[in-house]
A and B are shown apart, each in its own frame.
Chain A
Amino acid sequence: AQSVAQPEDQVNVAEGNPLTVKCTYSVSGNPYLFWYVQYPNRGLQFLLKYITGDNLVKGSYGFEAEFNKSQTSFHLKKPSALVSDSALYFCAVRDRTGGFKTIFGAGTRLFVKA
């Protein structure tokens, strides 16, 4: 069965510092991995995805994510955090056995302090 784990409920970082939001996954086949962000009282917004190819994926708003097959991880990163990055971040996965059904992690709340 597919599953996604986001081990940190909350991540705190100072503005200007690098940030990392962690995600590990479990699927039967090759994973299709996604990151989404949710701002208060809004739906989720797509940030980036890994399908195949280069392990470092670049996305919106300066975010990037690193796919590591051996560690089954897909951590979200940004070199320099902004206060406006404060939000709830979700990692998600699909694979061929699950079809188009998307499994989301529990979410990680990011606080960026000025």
Chain B
Amino acid sequence: KAGVTQTPRYLIKTRGQQVTLSCSPISGHRSVSWYQQTPGQGLQFLFEYFSETQRNKGNFPGRFSGRQFSNSRSEMNVSTLELGDSALYLCASSLNRGLDNEQFFGPGTRLTVL
């Protein structure tokens, strides 16, 4: 079974631009979560989607948004990029929303904002 895939793997943007990142979960997994990983802040929860609906949201500004499609694939969008948005963005999928469900992570998209 294929793992979680994320595209693109690397991205370089300039301040003020916007970016869209894509995540394809493991086949059959319905929950997709997004995290931002930085050396200073560690892993921070962005949001979680299930059945095309955002179910949980972290403490990020409205510039960060996402969506999930009927095939469970998910995208996240960051508008008006800032230097501080440079990070590794990780997507994780789970079979469903059970509290005991472990997450399967993709390799991440490394975003650099210049």
Q: Which residues of B contact A90 (CB under 8 A)?
A: 43
Q: Which of B45, B55, B107 contacts A102 (CB 8 A)?
A: B45
Known: A43-B105, A100-B55. A51 touches B43 (CB 8 A): no
B51 close to A (CB within 8 Å): no
Q: Which residues of B contact A43 (CB under 8 A)?
A: 4, 90, 92, 105-108
Instruction: Give, as a whole number of angstroms, the nearest-CB distance from B72 to chain A.
Output: 15
B22 close to A (CB within 8 Å): no
Q: Which of A32, A101, A106, A107 contacts B48 (CB 8 A)?
A: A101
Q: Which residues of B contact A96 (CB under 8 A)?
A: 99
B67 close to A (CB within 8 Å): no
Q: Which residues of B contact A100 (CB under 8 A)?
A: 31, 33, 48, 50, 55-56, 94, 97, 99, 101
Q: Count residues of chain B with CB under 8 A from any CB of chain A.
A: 26
**Pair A101/B99 contact, Cβ less than 8 Å:** no
Q: What 1/0 flags go to A33-55 for Cβ under 8 Å of B? A: 01010000111111001010000
B42 close to A (CB within 8 Å): yes
- 30 A-B contacts (beta carbon < 8 Å): A32-B99, A32-B100, A34-B102, A36-B105, A43-B90, A43-B92, A43-B105, A43-B107, A44-B90, A45-B105, A51-B99, A95-B99, A96-B99, A99-B55, A99-B56, A99-B99, A100-B31, A100-B50, A100-B56, A100-B101, A101-B56, A102-B33, A102-B103, A103-B45, A104-B35, A104-B43, A104-B45, A105-B42, A106-B42, A107-B43
Q: Closest 9 interchain pairs by CB?
A: A43-B105, A104-B43, A46-B102, A44-B105, A106-B42, A101-B56, A51-B100, A32-B99, A100-B97
